[in-house]
């Protein structure tokens, strides 16, 4: 990922995230984010969507870079 969030960072703080195949399966919020103040986890089919996917809850945009 371009900026690695930590468990202490707020979930969904950015609107664009770069992810790698090693991060799959992709979910929002990402596993490394704090979940207490976020929406329910949703899995995104980024490979089936041409390498880009958008979270239906928060609108975060994910881009597969490899």
Instruction: Report the DSSP pairing between strands 26-28 and 42-44.
Output: antiparallel
11 is a domain residue:
no
Domain of 28?
16-64
Which two tokens mark 56?
């239906």
- pLDDT given for residue 23 in this prediction: 93
For 54, counting Cβ atoms within 10 Å of its Cβ (0-12 exposed, 13-18 middle, 19+ buried), the class is middle
pTM comes to: 0.76
3 is a domain residue:
no
**Which phi and psi (to 5°) does residue 41 adopt?**
-65, 135
10 is a domain residue:
no
pLDDT tens profile 5-64: 455 566 667 789 999 999 999 999 988 787 767 899 999 999 999 999 999 999 999 999
2 is a domain residue:
no
For 33, counting Cβ atoms within 10 Å of its Cβ (0-12 exposed, 13-18 middle, 19+ buried), the class is buried
Domain count, the chain: 1
Q: How many residues are there in the chain?
A: 66
23 is a domain residue:
yes
């Amino acid at each position: 990922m371009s900026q690695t969030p930590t468990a202490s960072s707020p979930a969904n703080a950015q609107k664009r995230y770069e992810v790698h195949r090693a991060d799959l399966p992709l979910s929002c919020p990402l596993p490394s984010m704090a979940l207490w103040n976020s929406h329910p986890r949703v899995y995104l089919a980024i490979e089936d969507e041409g390498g880009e996917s958008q979270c239906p809850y928060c609108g975060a945009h994910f881009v597969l870079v490899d």
